[in-house]
Amino acid sequence: MFKDRKTLVGQVVSNKMDKTVVVAVERTSRHSLYRRIIRSTNKYKAHDERNECHLGDLVKMVESRPLSREKRWRVIEIIKKGDVPDVKPQQIGVPDAPVEATS
């Protein structure tokens, strides 16, 4: 079905948008002069029709026609579920119990 289309595998880093996930794809290359391994990361916005992807999931995506201004990829499969917990940020400087002021 997707024989001549590019496919990429990456990790979901954001799923806050409706039917859209941000996928970070990491690739490695060798520096031409120093021969060290260089890691570079590109982020792609991909279409997730059923909102199934969560943070930390390893997904496979395929290129498609432009779906919006930045979306050119579709998630076709979730390879591995991520184990990133959903933790809400706590307010800084707000104590758990009210503190009475003493003068």
Residues 18-50 pLDDT 10s: 999 999 999 999 999 999 999 999 999 999 999
End-to-end CA separation in angstroms for the chain: 75
Cβ neighbors of 26 (< 8 A, separation 6 or more) are 10, 11, 39, 40, 41
> What value does the CA radius of gyration of the chain take, rounded to a whole number of Å?
20
Give the pLDDT confidence of 71-99 residue by residue, as tens digits: 999 999 999 998 876 666 665 565 665 65
pLDDT at residue 8 in the model:
97
What is the reported pLDDT for 3?
A: 76
- What pLDDT is stored for residue 60 in this prediction? 97
The pTM is what? 0.77
Domains (range + CATH), the chain: 7-80 (2.40.50.140)
Q: What's the per-residue H, E or C state across 46-97?
A: EECCCCCCCCCCEEEEEECCCCCCCCCEEEEEEEECCCCCCCCCCCCCCCCC
